[in-house]
Amino acid sequence: MNRTRLGEWGVLVLVWLGLVALFGTLADHFLSATTLTTVAGRLPGLAVIAAGMTLVIIAGGIDLSVGSVMALAGAVLGVAIVQWGWPLAAAIPVAILTGALAGLGTGLLTVGLRIPSFLVTLGSLEICRGLTYAVCDSRTLFIGAAIRPLAQPIAGLGVPVTVPVAVAVVLAAQAILSRTVFGRHLVAIGANEPAVRLAGIDTAIPRVAVFVLSGALAGLAAVFASARLGSADPNAGAGLELAAIAAVVIGGTSLSGGTGSVVGSLLGVLIIATLEAGLAQLGASEPLKRIVTGGAIIAAVAADALRRRWEGERG
């Protein structure tokens, strides 16, 4: 890992620590188990979705369908457990596979028809939401005890198993990005796809694969979300794509592709989740919370742009 990247991560960690210190001072009970639970509930789903989103964006695309794909995978998970009586161990792979298939569709359409992924996923966002309503008959499916174990805090750790799993996924995605040929090709495609093609490298397979990966991770996020709520909600994940993109951007990934990191996105998720939890502790109203979160995104992007310009001027 190069020095610049470590520096970026360091800055993000400092920002996060600053937020913790700020809310710790302002709110009486910020540094408590309740806050940890809140953050731990929000983090895993958003983190794995942001991990997939990071790879998609680095490869020069974008996936707006992740929220809907997550809802669809959640509905399939709920139906498998509740209506078909499948054990959790069998239902989870099916949920992930559902997400992967949705991603495969997106990828094939984007690459095959040469349509920008922004437009394809704008469409599949609606399609998957519609399919979700069809699968669960527009009602929330109560899964209950079957999935609860996943949401129970692990003794001594204070967080449910979903948190370490999400962190492991992020680290794995980062390793794929920076250590594999596939990851190298994703970065290269995002940086300059025509040049990659003229170098004799196939770009179609990596471009499809990255959407399959993003879909599969949305499926995994559905498992996390269902565990937390004990149910599969057909309206789950609405607007989640925007939160994920915000985390990716705060984490230092360029929206124009070709550069970025998954670990940075995880730190972005951590910052967003902490900000939300802290504002809630302070008793901030919903409107104020959204305004502050929005301001934080713009501030992060502006700081990044200013830093780049400054570095550019220095040569």
> Under the rule (CB under 8 A), what is the footprint of other proteins?
2, 179-182, 184, 187-188, 191-192, 194-202, 258-259
Least separation in angstroms between residue 90's CB and other proteins is: 29
**HEC profile for 257-300?**
CCCCCHHHHHHHHHHHHHHHHHHHHCCCCHHHHHHHHHHHHHHH
Identify which of residues 283 and 315 has a Cβ nearer to other proteins in the complex.
Answer: 315
| Min separation Cβ 195 and other proteins, Å | 6
Contacts of 236 (CB under 8 A, 6+ apart): 67, 70, 71, 74, 222, 225, 229
Tokens of 238: 């609405």
Cβ neighbours for 308, distance < 8 A, ≥ 6 positions apart: none
Torsion angles phi and psi, residue 79, rounded to 5: -60, -40
Q: Which residue has the tokens 């300059």?
A: 192
Angle between helix axes 240-250 and 262-281 (nearest 10 degrees) is 110
CB 87 within 8 A of CB 102: no
d(CA 55, CA 161): 24
C-beta of 129 vs 185, nearer to other proteins = 185
d(CA 26, CA 201): 54
Closest distance to other proteins from the beta carbon of 311 (Å): 12
Q: How many residues does the chain have?
A: 315
CB of 251 to other proteins, least distance (A): 18
- Our CB check for other proteins shows the closer of 299 and 305 to be 305
CB of 44 to other proteins, least distance (A): 26
When the beta carbons of 43 and 58 are compared against other proteins, the nearer one is 58
**Minimum CB distance to other proteins smaller for 190 or for 219:** 190
Nearer to other proteins, 79 or 189 (CB): 189
Question: In the bound complex, what is the minimum distance in angstroms from residue 185's beta carbon to other proteins?
Answer: 9
Identify whether the C-beta of residue 47 lies closer than 8 Å to the C-beta of residue 209.
Answer: no
The number of beta carbons lying within 10 Å of the beta carbon of residue 13 is 13
Nearer to other proteins, 88 or 189 (CB): 189
